[in-house]
Amino acid sequence: MVRPLLIALTISCAAAAFAQTPLPQPTLPATSAIPPETIKAINDRFEAYRVSAHAPGLVWGIVQNGRLAHVGTLGVQDPATNQPVTPDTVFRIASMSKAFTALAILKLRDEGKLSLDDLAERYVPELKDWTYPTTDSPRIRVRDLLGHVSGFVTDDPWGDRQQVMPEATFTALLKAGVPFTRAPETAYEYSNLGYALLGRIVTNASGRRYEDYIESEIMRPLDMAASGYEIGDVPTDKLAVGYRWENDAYAREPSMQDGAFGAMGGVHTSANDYAKWAAFLLSAWPARDGADTGPAKRATVRQLGVGTSLPRLGQRIRANNPAPCPTATVYSGGFNVVRDCDLGLVLTHGGGYPGYGSTLMMMPDTGVAIFAFANRTYAGPAAAALDAAQILKDAGLLPERTLPASPALTALYASAGAMFRAGNLAPGQDGLAMNFLMDRSAENWAREFARLKTAVGNCRADEPIMATGWLAGRFNWTCERGSITGDLLLAPTTPPRIQAFRMQERPAAAQ
């Protein structure tokens, strides 16, 4: 009659110990310098793109471990002067500006000045009298604008030419109402108008001009002194002049001054400046202990990668691989959030604009970003950036961060191995969750262990588990005649216990 009390005391002590034990911190493995041959391969790819796209100039960069690991400069700032592109040459980055707008919205949310679920008309009263397309249409929320699910029609290229619209004209446009292409929250459609509205929301919620808020609250704290919105403020000897390629010749695009649509695409910046922005964003991953030192909290930055729109399936063509790469994409705060078959989690966005094209790829699980700017209309080098990422991947330069196994996962994984070696559940029965024996009886577990051993022989069953979370992991056991792969899943209880233990044999002939 003493045993139940002892078990209860053991569980209670284990629960207290687990609750007081800090979770292990994820770390990035040490990365080596990028070899010259890899740099050359990437540079050649961007140069091939620049030539084929008839872009006068292009700059590209790799951000790694919180710094600009390499910057490549190609071509000229202006064909009229033939001044070469440098890391300090200033380009407009077009729709890559949207991430600044999205972070400003989240920052204002953190400050208690707005809610993502608020109706947009709370901050932009001109929307209150709009007529919606159906009687059951939901009214537009702030988060709908962030995710391009507001019901507005896709407005490239119309929106790109609205950069110069005066604020008073924008107010008049909103008062008159705009047509919808569908009911809000029913489909994704890319809307520059929606992000211009977010810019107005930043202004009205903060009580400060949108551009002033971004520059003072985000850019300047990151020491982005060469970045801003008014292109006329850029010294002429630093500016990449925008052109379009027409009739086999360059035609200069107008230099549009900042206006009401700046929130959708008005940022200008240099490679040296932009690398600070990309490094700051990447520094939000992984979640960890420690003080927040940036202009926005790490958790807030990570929300830029949480989809707020409807998913889209697709595939991309891979260099040197005939099989297409399946992808799944949602739009979030100024980013397409992509699950890529080769590169894992990718936050990416391009920019297309009169006189300019740009792209950014961030791979948070590796701490690496690739960006590129060009000064030709809609010359967005996204394909070249993807190829650059693949070159880094193939060279072993995109190592994913390692998540250490938690004490509970380590202990219960050892218990799972002991059960397999014994051929029954006895060695680990105290670590089983209440569902475990309801899902499969102890007798059937013994039969399963015996079947696996017949298929592949005895296994080491002690090779390290690869944590996929604090309460889950994958493993691979080397066996006499093959291997066993599997995963261990713990229950959300205190203390954690094994809720699932899955194994799949791979006989030597099948490997």
Which of the two residues, 20 and 435, has the higher pLDDT score?
435
- Which residue type is seen at 233? D
Which residue, of 402, 421, 455, is where some domain finishes?
A: 402
Same domain, 86 and 15: no
Same domain, 398 and 447: no
Q: Identify the pLDDT of residue 26.
A: 65
What is the SS3 assignment for 89? Answer: coil
Q: Identify the pLDDT of residue 16.
A: 42
Q: CA-CA distances (angstroms) from residue 224 to 215, 277, 287, 352? A: 9, 8, 25, 22
**CA 53 and chain centroid, separation:** 27
Q: Which two tokens stand for residue 306?
A: 């949480």
pLDDT digits (tens, 9 = 90+) for 125-151: 999 999 999 999 999 999 999 999 999
pLDDT digits (tens, 9 = 90+) for 325-334: 888 999 999 9
Total structural domains within the chain: 2
Across residues 16-25, what is the average pLDDT?
54
Q: CA-CA distances (angstroms) from residue 161 to 153, 187, 228, 266? A: 16, 24, 19, 11
pLDDT digits (tens, 9 = 90+) for 342-369: 899 999 999 999 999 999 999 999 999 9
Which residue, of 374, 402, 430, is where some domain finishes?
A: 402
Same domain, 245 and 334: yes
Which residue, of 384, 402, 420, is where some domain finishes?
A: 402
Range of the domain at 16: 3-24+403-510
Backbone Cα Rg of the chain: 27
Same domain, 216 and 168: yes
pLDDT at position 29 over 60: no
Q: Identify the pLDDT of residue 22.
A: 62
Inter-residue long-range contacts of 28-36, CB under 8 Å, 24+ positions, other chains counted: 28/65, 28/366, 28/367, 28/399, 28/401, 28/402, 29/399, 29/401, 29/402, 31/64, 31/65, 31/397, 31/399, 32/397, 33/69, 34/62, 34/64, 34/69, 34/70, 34/392, 34/395, 34/397, 35/395
Given the DSSP bridges, would you call strands 83-84 and 249-252 parallel, antiparallel or unpaired?
A: unpaired
pLDDT digits (tens, 9 = 90+) for 405-462: 999 999 999 999 999 999 999 999 999 999 999 999 999 999 999 999 999 999 999 9
Given the DSSP bridges, would you call strands 336-340 and 344-353 parallel, antiparallel or unpaired?
A: antiparallel
Q: At what angle do helices 442-456 and 407-422 cross, to 10 degrees?
A: 80
Q: Is the distance from CB of 61 to CB of 275 less than 8 angstroms?
A: yes
Same domain, 357 and 425: no
Same domain, 367 and 427: no
pLDDT digits (tens, 9 = 90+) for 379-391: 999 999 999 999 9
Q: CA-CA distances (angstroms) from residue 381 to 60, 73, 303, 426? A: 10, 14, 26, 59
Q: Which among 405, 443, 450, 425 has a CA at the least distance from the CA of 501? A: 425
Same domain, 336 and 475: no
Same domain, 275 and 389: yes
pLDDT digits (tens, 9 = 90+) for 451-492: 999 999 999 999 999 999 999 999 999 999 999 999 999 999
pLDDT digits (tens, 9 = 90+) for 256-296: 999 999 999 999 999 999 999 999 999 999 998 999 999 99
Same domain, 472 and 354: no
Q: CA-CA distances (angstroms) from residue 255 to 25, 92, 97, 274? A: 48, 10, 17, 21
Same domain, 383 and 426: no
Which of the two residues, 80 and 341, has the higher pLDDT score?
80
pLDDT at position 87 over 50: yes
pLDDT at position 10 over 70: no
Q: Which among 102, 89, 104 has a CA at the least distance from the CA of 273? A: 89
pLDDT digits (tens, 9 = 90+) for 169-218: 999 999 999 999 999 999 999 999 999 999 999 999 999 999 999 999 99
- For residue 159, the domain's CATH number is 3.40.710.10
Across residues 402-407, what is the average pLDDT?
90
pLDDT at position 21 over 90: no
pLDDT at position 5 over 60: no
Q: Identify the pLDDT of residue 271.
A: 98
- Which residue type is seen at 318? R
Q: Identify the pLDDT of residue 140.
A: 98
Given the DSSP bridges, would you call strands 243-246 and 249-252 parallel, antiparallel or unpaired?
A: antiparallel
Across residues 92-121, what is the average pLDDT?
98
What is the rounded CA–CA span in Å between residue 91 and residue 267? 9
Same domain, 359 and 435: no
Same domain, 15 and 136: no
